[in-house]
Structure 1
Amino acid sequence: MTALIASTLTGALTVVGAFPILLGTKPSERFNDTLLGFAAGVMLAASFFSLIVPALAIAGETYGEGPIPGAIAVIGILLGAIAISALDRLIPHKHFVTGHEGPDSAKIAGVWLFVFAIAIHNFPEGMAVGVAYGSGETESAFALALGIGLQNLPEGLAVAVGLLSVGYSKLKSFTVAALTGLFEPVGGLFGGIFVNISALLLPWGLVFAAGAMLFVISHEIIPETHRRGHHQRATAGLMIGLVLMLFLDVWLVA
């Protein structure tokens, strides 16, 4: 239950991030890419400091020194990346927009691909929170949930701005952005149930969630922040997000 509540709250911050659209506020592309870079930095730090490192420690306590903890991390990370890659290939993103009048269909399809990419990667974020709370490490789980919640703010705004830019109304842009956050509690519930089946599954769940998030960072978020030529600001945002998440993890877990 705690995992579901925590992942629901982090997902709800997607709604908060999209809210400025209803007020008529549309950030510049440069500012938006900077925020998305920040989100990538938070996710990158969370993947390592809140998921991979604790997984290695737990596996080390269970299996002792040797190759097994490292092997679990390698296999689990790759499995997480493969799973999200499969979702990205199998879900029919472009089928959601048909018969549109106005902006060209190719541009609309691209926006919807990004919308569903955000929705898809909200699932592993929620799963990461669920697994962390399922582990019983409350301080570490809170740091992770706080970091993911913070990076959901610019993601919600990015989805809403993307839809607004190709002709959708403010209300519809906000609504779709808000709905992408619903994938997070689903992932949280799945992660919480998974790690409670057996303690032996805990390190696997942590590194699987990390692999899923790392795939999204490289495949979706960073390319999105660089495609309009704002790579310097996006990189600065990534560095700030990374060190902020590192600080939160050290401060709240210590």
Structure 2
Amino acid sequence: MNSITRKNSIRLAASVGWRALGYGLGAAGIVFFLAEAWQLIAGQPTLRIALGSGSIAALATALGVVPMLVTRAPGRRIHDTLLGFGAGVMLAATSFSLIIPSLQSAQEQGHGSWGASLITGAGILLGAGCLMLLERKLPHEHFFGGAGTENPQRIRRLWLFVFAIVMHNIPEGLAIGVSAAGTDAARATALATGIAIQDVPEGLVVALALSSVGMGKWKSAFLGAASGLVEPLASVLGAAALMYSQPLLPWGLAFAAGAMLFVVSHEVIPESHRQGHEQFATTGLLVGFVLMMMLDTALA
């Protein structure tokens, strides 16, 4: 019996040791990758701008969860109004900071009015189509819709829900990155500012959505804050892709616009109207749209 116990102890210790070694190697690999990535980003002003703008958006998302921790959660009416506000900001950003610059960039590259409109239109459909394909092929729960709290499937549903949040934030990061790679710094600043403003209520909405499917308050707040971390990564990737291929700029701007339009139409607006608060949601959308339009006009 003692021999069996000793062997089991040795096997357990070996398993723990190998696991610790694996974690250590993984952590070292991540540190090395981040160090190399920073060396690349530090040498490219465009990538630094994209990283900074994306990081501000991520920080705004984290800031949005604070009210959930210090005050009582807002009612459903306020929740839907915030969703409408975010939809309005994203629609205005899509129109004034992505689609119009895409048309202008295509014309500056020598395409006529019809050619520029065809490129931008194709890019919009491509961006929306890619997200539609991901939405259909990859298993996930809808970003805002209730995922349920059935115990046998609760953990799987929560992780699928978190994945949906990440997929939702990728278009915003891409929009920031491709705008930073463009030639109009003022318009890129307006877009990044608008998305950051929109991300503040979005962080709260994400945390509330996670809480509504059974996750604890602090864990919901943590994941809601962390959900914006994908935006700096997507921003840098988007900027890097276009920085080395300027002919792709109108395509990249239109692609990001199409992806954002898909998210607004498929997720945000339907959810903001689901509980019967259409007037409040529409008012929030109009306010968000006008605010983003004013930011784009004033900063440009």
TM-score scaled by length of structure 2: 0.77
**Which structure exhibits the higher relative contact order, with contacts defined as CA atoms closer than 8 Å and separated by 6 or more residues?**
1
Match of 1:160 among 200, 207, 218: 207
Report the CA distance between 1:205 and its aligned residue: 0.6
- Does the alignment pair 1:211 with 2:238? no
Q: Deviations over 1:177-209 (max 9, x none)?
A: 112111111210111011112111111110000
Gaps of 5+ in 1: 95-101
Amino acid aligned to 1:81: A
Distance 1:107 1:241, change over 3 A: farther
1:1-150 residue pairs with structure 2 within 5 A? 1-93=48-140, 103-104=149-150, 115-150=162-197
- Structure 1: which 4+ aligned runs deviate by more than 6 Å? 109-112
Gaps of 5+ in 2: 1-47, 142-147
Report the CA distance between 1:25 and its aligned residue: 2.6
8 Å Cα contact 1:118/1:155 also seen in 2: no
8 Å Cα contact 1:77/1:211 also seen in 2: yes
Give percent identity, aligned residues only: 49
Distance 1:167 1:247, change over 3 A: same
Q: Distance in 2 between matches of 1:112 and 1:31?
A: 26
What corresponds to 1:99 in structure 2?
Answer: none
**Which sits farther off after the overlay, 224-233 or 102-111?**
102-111
Amino acid aligned to 2:244: I
Report the CA distance between 1:116 and its aligned residue: 3.6
Query: SS where residue 233 of structure 1 aligns?
Result: helix
What corresponds to 1:236 in structure 2?
Answer: 283
Q: Deviations over 1:203-245 (max 9, x none)?
A: 1110000000000000000011011111110000000000110
8 Å Cα contact 2:65/2:225 also seen in 1: yes
Distance 1:21 1:237, change over 3 A: same
8 Å Cα contact 1:55/1:207 also seen in 2: yes
What corresponds to 1:98 in structure 2?
Answer: none
8 Å Cα contact 2:140/2:161 also seen in 1: no
Report the CA distance between 1:67 and its aligned residue: 1.8
Q: Distance in 2 between matches of 1:219 and 1:105?
A: 28
8 Å Cα contact 1:11/1:182 also seen in 2: yes
8 Å Cα contact 1:17/1:156 also seen in 2: yes
Q: Distance in 1 between matches of 2:271 and 2:100?
A: 28
Aligned length: 246
The structure number with the bigger radius of gyration is 2
